[in-house]
Amino acid sequence: MLDMPPLPPQQSRFTRPLLALALSPAWADPQQGGTPFQTTGGASNASEGGYSPVPGGRSIFDDILDPGGMTPVNYCPAPSCDPCDPSGPASIGSGSGANLGAGNPIHLASGNKYRRETDLPALPGPMGLEIVRHYNSTLAAPELPLGILGRGWRLSYETELAVFDQAIHILQADGSRVFFARTGADTLVAHDPAFGRLALSGSPTRPEAFRWHWPDGCTLDFDGRGRLLQILSPEGHFLTLTRGPRGELLRVTDPQGRSLVFEYAPRDSSGFRGVVAIDSPVGRFTLAHQNERTAPGLANLIAVTNPEGSVRRYHYGADETEFAPHLPHHLTGISVESETGPVRIATYDYDMRGRATLSVRGLPLRRDEHGQSVPGTGIEQVTVDYPERGLTAVTNSLGERTTYRHTTINAGFRLIEVIGPGCASCGPTNRRYAYDALGRMVEETALDASGAPVATTLTRYDALGRVSARGRRSYVDG
Answer yes or no: are the C-beta atoms of 181 and 187 closer than 8 Å: no
Q: Is 7 inside a domain boundary?
A: no
Confidence of residue 411 (pLDDT cuts 50, 70, 90): confident
The H-assigned helical ranges of 354-406 are none
Measured in degrees and rounded to the nearest 5, phi and psi for residue 354 equal 85, 10
Cβ atoms of residues 150 and 289 within 8 Å: yes
pLDDT tens-digit readout, 340-366: 889 999 999 999 999 999 999 999 999
Q: Which domain holds residue 195?
A: 19-474
Residue 164's pLDDT band (boundaries 50, 70, 90)? confident
pLDDT at 308 over 90: yes
Residue 5 lies in a domain: no
Asked if residues 247 and 26 have their Cβ atoms less than 8 Å apart, the reply is: yes
- Domain membership of residue 229 (yes or no) is yes
**3-class secondary-structure state, position 153:** strand
| 9 domain residue, yes or no | no
| Alpha carbons 323 and 348: distance in angstroms, whole number | 10
Per-residue pLDDT band at 203 (split at 50, 70, 90)? confident
Place 9 in a pLDDT band, splitting at 50, 70 and 90: very low
Contact 153, 301 (CB under 8 A): yes
**Cβ-contact 235, 222 below 8 angstroms:** no
The whole-number pLDDT of residue 29 equals 30
Tell which residue, 166, 147, 170, 153, has the closest CA to residue 21: 170
The pLDDT of 294-309, averaged and rounded, is: 96
φ/ψ region of 140 (left if φ > 0, alpha if ψ in -120 to 50, else beta) reads alpha
Mean pLDDT over each residue of the chain, to the nearest integer: 82
Query: What are the residues whose beta carbons fall under 8 Å from the beta carbon of 163, sequence distance 6 or more?
Result: 43, 44, 45, 207, 226
At position 310, the amino acid (one-letter code) is S
- Asked if residue 300 belongs to a domain, the reply is yes
Question: What are the backbone angles phi and psi of residue 253, rounded to the nearest 5°?
Answer: -120, 130
Let me know if residue 291 belongs to a domain. yes
Check if the beta carbon of residue 191 is closer than 8 Å to that of residue 181: yes
Query: 101 has which bridge partners?
Result: 107
Q: How confident is the model at residue 369 (pLDDT cuts 50, 70, 90)?
A: very high
Contact between 50 and 34 under an 8 Å Cβ cutoff? The reply is yes
Confidence of residue 55 (pLDDT cuts 50, 70, 90): low
**Residue 186's pLDDT band (cuts 50, 70, 90):** confident
**Is residue 6 included in any domain, yes or no?**
no
Residues in CB range of 125: below 8 A, 6 or more apart: 254, 255, 256
Return the pLDDT at 75: 35
Q: How far is CA 4 from the centre of its chain?
A: 35
Q: What is the number of domains present in the chain? A: 1
Strand residues in 317-466 grouped as ranges (E): 331-338, 341-350, 356-361, 379-388, 391-395, 401-409, 412-419, 431-435, 441-447, 453-461
Q: How far is residue 94's CA from residue 153's CA, in Å, rounded to a whole number?
A: 18
> What's the confidence (pLDDT) of residue 144?
84
User: Is 13 within the bounds of a domain?
Assistant: no
